[in-house]
Amino acid sequence: MRPLAVLAVVAAVSLAQSPDDVEKALARAGANRAQLEKALAAAPADERPGVAFLVAHMPDRDLKTLTAEFLLTNTKLAYRARRELPWGKDVPEELFLNDVLPYCHVDETRDAWRQQLFDRCVPLVKDCKTPAEAVQKLNTALFPQLKVGYSTGRRAPNQGPFETIESGKASCTGLSILLADACRAVGIPARLAGTANWSDKRGNHTWVEVWDGRWRFTGACEPDPNGLDRGWFVADAARAQKDVPEHAIFATSFKATGTAFPLVWDRKSRAVPGVNVTDRYTTAAATDATRSAAALAALKAAIADPAALTGLEKRDIAAVPLTKADAESARDLIWKAHVAKLKVERAAEMKERVLKHGELQMPFDVKTFGTAPAGGHSLWISLHGGGGAPKKVNDQQWENQKRLYTLDEGVYVAPRAPTNTWNLWHEGHMDALYSRLIENMVALEGVNPDKVYILGYSAGGDGVYQMAPRMADRWAAAAMMAGHPNGVSPLSLRNVPFALQVGENDTAYNRSKVGREFGEHLDKLRLADPGGYEHLVKIHPGKGHWMDREDKLALPWMAKFTRTPVPDRVVWHQSGNLHDRSYWLAVPQLGGLHTVVTAKRAGQTIEVASVGVKRVLVRLDDRVADLDRPVRVVSDGKELYAGSPPRTAAVLAKTLAGRGDPRLMFSAEVAVELP
């Protein structure tokens, strides 16, 4: 062994290759040995293990042809990507060496592609947080940018990236080489995967596997909008045959594995190392993904007729566990079908601007202000005063409320109360009417369900005091003007910013006094729970029941807030009228008034407590917790549930029904018995 080579090999021992591997490779290099030794000697100390790895494992054709400059540049850029891209530090050394550092995948032309692809791809992935997100971005943006696509008119199936870019044409293998090289250029482990022949003997296919904490896959130049581990070939791959090489699935490897990756254009060749990865495509997880995709397709077909939504949760397809991506697609499908159904069923009431509940009717006036932002207009439900007064008086109060406030942006809805009683805005029928109004405005008028506000004056303020906590999960914020709480508890306002205004001299029914007391109660709740109970209390000096429109200051304050449909803590106090759900909690059987359920979530653990409630449904989706990992529900130190609840269309349909809120649809639920 030459002294120069000895020094280089010793420097590479940390790589877990024996010095003999490098020396044996050098011996096969023939006249090109000097170039390889030059590369080993010239590499910086921290990059020399990479050069040694390449030399030890490269094919004989490369040992005899590749220059020191080629190897050093390739290695330098691979290590640069590892240092500069956010996921680089998390790539295990073994994967970096075998699946990031190598300059080739099969027997394609050895192009010096790293600099060009690094320069082109880093801007594409600069805002990505994970390898999976970056791969999806590359697969979506790179091919259109390069004007490259699949074509049977390509020169060869195993083209290098430069020929593919120049011609704009490639086979599935050529496209996969280009995408895998792009991934490696930005420090993501990537390799080719494929089969020589599907089990039904329909032909071969090649795709790309990438590392994101585990090996995942995607079709090159055919990204699925729902993310990785999806593609037209999933069902075919699930039928692969591990022990039949022709019908098995292999991934490429740079270092020898004792197994060959099949080259369909050179079937006798065993020059490319491979790994049999069939199990990953045919195991339960892969089969579950296939079933999920099939269930989603069946769901799409079933609800092409929106009438099929009725009873959907009882159908077999709705019970099939869904992947995260399929659950989100199912959510979208079910919501769109629901909207289509409402457009038929509720067109007349929206045109007439009258909602009905039994024999009762609630007319409403609508005014729109400003241009709708992304996500849709905000919705402001404004409740008039009057109350226990003749119809004529309440009609006049309604007319006043229609013009009492203006908005910079939003849909301002002033309803006329269905009755003329003192409690006209919080009688038992009002919950259903508010819900129907909001559901109609979201589905048919396109308002943002997370920007719904309620406000009211005098008797309308009485209604806000009662309905803001009673329907807490509906509101982005609430504003009470000159009303009376009538003993209502503010506990459920934990996630509802609440503005309270009353005139200093509004002494009728002690409005000013009880307003101060309500504000002080909110102060105490906020102090004990700084993450909740946001509030604004203004006692207007010198003002009586009429505050000369100074109360309008609440509207810009409210507009700053957006509802959080899945808050990290929920306080649910039943008051006034019983409800079966609040945010991501529900009760299978209604209890009584003044029962309380509280819950908080942190990571994969949910803690629940109650007063007067024994059985609670915890509703979940991937906003609440990662449903691909075990979830724990605990109460008073006792574990009530541990597992991974399935996402299903049944739960999505169930949580939409009776509420009609796309943000309060959940894909899974867990029933727990509280101690």
- For residues 545 and 508, the answer to whether their CB atoms sit within 8 Å is yes
d(CA 268, CA 464): 79
Q: What is the pLDDT of residue 20?
A: 85
Of 456, 376, 374, 370, which Cα lies nearest the Cα of 413? 456
d(CA 461, CA 473): 19
**The residue count for the chain:** 675
Say yes or no to pLDDT of 14 above 60. no
Q: Read off the tokens for 396.
A: 């006049």
pLDDT tier at 13 (50, 70, 90 boundaries)? very low
Say yes or no to pLDDT of 507 above 90. yes
Q: What is the pLDDT of residue 18?
A: 66
3-state secondary structure of 609: strand
Q: Read off the tokens for 485.
A: 């709480």
Strand blocks (E) in 281-433:
354-357, 360-369, 379-383, 410-415
Q: What is the pLDDT of residue 233?
A: 87
Say yes or no to pLDDT of 2 above 50. no
Residue-wise pLDDT tens digits, 535-558: 999 999 999 999 999 999 999 999
Phi, psi of 80 (to 5 degrees): -65, -45
pLDDT tier at 16 (50, 70, 90 boundaries)? very low
pTM confidence score: 0.67
Percent of the chain clearing pLDDT 70 (strictly above)? 97
Q: What is the pLDDT of residue 583?
A: 98
Query: Other CB atoms closer than 10 Å to residue 164's CB: what's the count?
Result: 27
Say yes or no to pLDDT of 629 above 90. no
Residue predicted with more confidence, 312 or 514: 514
Of the ranges 296-310, 398-412, 549-563, which one carries the lowest mean pLDDT score?
296-310
Could you tell me where the DSSP H helices lie in 85-126?
93-99, 114-125
d(CA 583, CA 655): 11
d(CA 302, CA 524): 52
Say yes or no to pLDDT of 4 above 50. no
pLDDT tier at 125 (50, 70, 90 boundaries)? very high
Say yes or no to pLDDT of 491 above 80. yes
Say yes or no to pLDDT of 3 above 60. no
Half-sphere exposure in the Cβ direction for 236 (13 Å, CA): 18
Q: Read off the tokens for 299.
A: 């769901």
Q: Rounded mean pLDDT of 12-24?
A: 67
- For residues 271 and 211, the answer to whether their CB atoms sit within 8 Å is no
Q: What is the pLDDT of residue 150?
A: 92
pLDDT tier at 563 (50, 70, 90 boundaries)? very high
Of the ranges 245-259, 364-378, 583-597, which one carries the lowest mean pLDDT score?
583-597
Cα-based torsion angle of the residue sequence 475, 480, 481, 482 in order, rounded to the nearest 10 degrees:
150
Q: What is the pLDDT of residue 593?
A: 85
Say yes or no to pLDDT of 17 above 70. no
| Mean pLDDT, rounded, of the chain | 94
Q: Residues 126, 131, 132, CA angle at the centre, nearest 5°?
A: 115
CA-CA-CA-CA torsion sign (204, 199, 190, 323): positive
**Residues whose CB is less than 8 angstroms from the CB of residue 412 and which lie 6 or more positions away in sequence, other chains included:** 366, 367, 368, 369, 380, 382, 405, 406
3-state secondary structure of 77: helix
pLDDT tier at 235 (50, 70, 90 boundaries)? confident
Strand partners, 478: 454, 498
Q: Where is 137: in which H helix or E strand?
A: helix 131-146
Say yes or no to pLDDT of 244 above 50. yes
| Residue ranges of domains in the chain, CATH in brackets | 128-282 (3.10.620), 286-344 (no CATH), 353-563 (3.40.50.1820), 571-673 (no CATH)
3-state secondary structure of 642: strand
d(CA 189, CA 97): 9
- For residues 157 and 174, the answer to whether their CB atoms sit within 8 Å is yes
3-state secondary structure of 279: helix
